[in-house]
Amino acid sequence: MTFKYNCVFVEDAATIAGPYEAKGPLKKYFDQTFDNLYHGEKSWETAEAKILEESIRTLLKKTKKTKDDIDVIISGDLMNQITSSCYSSEKFNFPFLGIYSACATSVEGIILGSSLIDGGKVSNAIASTSSHNMSSEKQFRNPTEYGAPKPKTATFTATGGASILLTNENTGIKVESSTIGRIVDYEQNDPFNMGAVMAPAAADTIYRHLTNLNRTPDYYDLILTGDLGTYGKKILIDFMKTEYGLDISKNYNDCGVMLYDLEKQKEVQAGGSGPVCSALVNYSVILNLLKKKKVKKVLLVATGALFSPTFVYQHENILSIAHAVSLEVIK
Amino acid sequence: MKKHQPTETRSQNAFIAFVTGGLVGVIGQLLTEFYAVFFEISTKDASTFMLVTLIFLASLFTALGFFDKWVNFCKCGLIIPITGFAHSMTSAGIEYRKEGPIFGLGSNIFKLAGSVILYGVVSAWFFGMLRLLIMGG
């Protein structure tokens, strides 16, 4: 399912990043960073909601909008019942749509928002997402103070909140087209190797996007996957070549690899993950490159592992999904 | 998929675990000797004192927030001894404290340690029965 948009544009975006992300190479591109993972709150969960709320507030400030100017917010995160999204949006009273597709949530939000705008139903929409390393560890793995060793393929959930404002007014950066992903099962069941779980989903979506629009990989200046990590990135390049005969190695990178300094930050193992991982990279440094017209055509492929601890304990496979959206600089 | 799987440094991990686990054992032995001489009690009582000391230290260091980093470095060297058991309970306790004393702390403190206790009790019963049948008590 691939479609083109006529009049959807990116107005601006806001990113709030946590302490581990601030130590990485992208620090200067974030709107705000903070040092303490609690961020002045009593629990990890309320901290995550507060971070997401701040990203929306910063976005409103940057774009000089008031909360009455926003037609709809589409938001999702990793927490059960997407609580971070609900509790942060409640502060603003926007019309609210909650979504979930794990780490592919950011692009799903952009696809839905763009479709509402292009269909003429709303004139603008915010797509936002968040994740928090500690709240995710607590929900999906072990208590945060429990120091169980992890294998090298494990990824590190990024901490932060990110929001993007889409509009029907021409701003120079167009949301050009998008591809809705399919759920893929490649019989992977290792929660410490999400890169291998998600790479086939990313490959499927990139392949369908390119063939539906009759494009080759070099049509894009950059193809960015969400959070495959070091090993998932290698798998995807290899998979695209052997399965579909497409070479993406020249203009492809992964946000999970870009977010951290993998040489110095050993604690992140294979790289970043979480819904906010791709959003933090795309809405900061990549949007900046688009604004400066240093890159003109970018394909964002957010990848999500639809991972449930319950199903893994019941010996079911981990499913994955990837959504793609293409951003273009126009005159 | 398989060919991009990185090789874990298993022998190195095992060696670190062997050394650090051994160190915990040495500390335990020293503590036992110390208590036995200092308090003039039997070695059996002293070893109980030693266990309590190790549990206390592991819980304290978990609460102070750096024990998880040690465990990460030492691999299973700190998880297999009683320090790991204390660590699992304290970390769960700290994590779920915010949901209140009943639904948080009370119902989650054995989240990781529960299986150790259950199978510890079951295997103790099993081996106790074996001993009774073979050796007559």
CATH number, position A286: 3.40.47.40
Contact A145 B68 (CB under 8 A): yes
Give me the numbers of helices (H) and strands (E) for chain A, helices first please: 11, 14
Q: Which residues of A touch B111 (CB under 8 A)?
A: 143
- The SS3 of residue A16 is strand
If asked whether residues A152 and A217 sit together in one domain, one would say no
Residue A21 has pLDDT above 70, yes or no: yes
If asked whether residues A82 and A180 sit together in one domain, one would say no
Among A167, A189, A211, the domain boundary falls at: A167
Please compute the mean of the pLDDT values over residues A307-327 and round it to a whole number: 94
Residue B2 has pLDDT above 70, yes or no: no
If asked whether residues A39 and A130 sit together in one domain, one would say yes
Q: Which residue in A326, A144, A193 sits closest to B98, CA to CA? A: A144
Q: Which residues of B touch A184 (CB under 8 A)?
A: none
The pLDDT value recorded for residue B136 is: 79
**Host domain of residue A227:** 173-329
Highest mean pLDDT (candidates A109-118, A142-151, B33-42, B52-61):
A109-118
Q: Which residue in A97, A102, A96, A95 sits closest to A80, CA to CA? A: A102
If asked whether residues A177 and A234 sit together in one domain, one would say yes
Q: CB-based contact (8 Å) between A152 and chain B? A: yes
Give the gap in angstroms from C-alpha A153 to the nearest C-alpha of chain B: 7
The pLDDT value recorded for residue B73 is: 80
Q: How many domains does chain A have?
A: 2
Give the gap in angstroms from C-alpha A330 to the nearest C-alpha of chain B: 39
The pLDDT value recorded for residue A127 is: 97
Asked whether this complex has an ipTM greater than 0.90, the answer is: no
- The Cα–Cα gap between A235 and A304 comes to 16
DSSP character for B136? Answer: -
Residues 6+ apart with CB under 8 A from A231: A152, A153, A193, A195, A196, A270, B4, B5, B6
Specify the amino acid at residue A274: G
Instruction: Tell me the pLDDT band of A315, cut-offs 50, 70 and 90.
Output: very high
Residue A279 has pLDDT above 80, yes or no: yes
The pLDDT value recorded for residue B56 is: 92
Give the gap in angstroms from C-alpha B93 to the nearest C-alpha of chain A: 9
Instruction: Tell me the pLDDT band of A150, cut-offs 50, 70 and 90.
Output: confident
A176-189 confidence digits (pLDDT tens)? 999 999 999 988 88
If asked whether residues A153 and A195 sit together in one domain, one would say no
Residue B119 has pLDDT above 90, yes or no: yes
If asked whether residues A121 and A48 sit together in one domain, one would say yes
If asked whether residues A132 and A245 sit together in one domain, one would say no
Q: Which of residues 59-78 of A touch B (CB under 8 A)?
A: none
Chain B residue closest to A186 (CA)? Answer: B1
Q: CB-based contact (8 Å) between A43 and chain B? A: yes
Q: Structural domain boundaries of chain B?
A: 2-112
The pLDDT value recorded for residue B72 is: 77
The pLDDT value recorded for residue A167 is: 96
Please compute the mean of the pLDDT values over residues B31-58 and round it to a whole number: 90
Q: CB-based contact (8 Å) between A149 and chain B? A: yes
If asked whether residues A163 and A181 sit together in one domain, one would say no
If asked whether residues A140 and A205 sit together in one domain, one would say no
Q: Which residues of B touch A152 (CB under 8 A)?
A: 6, 8
Q: CB-based contact (8 Å) between A316 and chain B? A: no
Q: Which residues of B touch A144 (CB under 8 A)?
A: 68, 91, 95
Token representation of residue B69 = 């980093």
**Which of A146, A193, A196 lies nearest to residue B87, judging by beta carbons?**
A146
If asked whether residues A138 and A243 sit together in one domain, one would say no
Q: CB-based contact (8 Å) between A242 and chain B? A: no
Dihedral (Cα; A172, A173, A178, A184), 10-degree rounding: 180
Contact B91 A145 (CB under 8 A): yes
Looking from the CA of B102 toward its CB, the CA atoms found within 13 Å total 0
Residue A291 has pLDDT above 80, yes or no: yes
The pLDDT value recorded for residue B10 is: 81
The pLDDT value recorded for residue A266 is: 85
Among A135, A167, A199, the domain boundary falls at: A167
If asked whether residues A185 and A147 sit together in one domain, one would say no
The pLDDT value recorded for residue B43 is: 86
Contact B6 A43 (CB under 8 A): no
A128-141 confidence digits (pLDDT tens)? 999 999 999 999 98
If asked whether residues A261 and A321 sit together in one domain, one would say yes
Among A100, A134, A167, the domain boundary falls at: A167
Lowest mean pLDDT among A101-105, A153-157, B41-45: B41-45
Percent of chain A at pLDDT > 90 equals 88
The pLDDT value recorded for residue B14 is: 86
Residue B130 has pLDDT above 90, yes or no: yes
B49: left (phi over 0), alpha (psi -120 to 50) or beta: alpha
Q: Which residue in A322, A286, A310 sits closest to A10, CA to CA? A: A286
Instruction: Tell me the pLDDT band of B3, cut-offs 50, 70 and 90.
Output: low
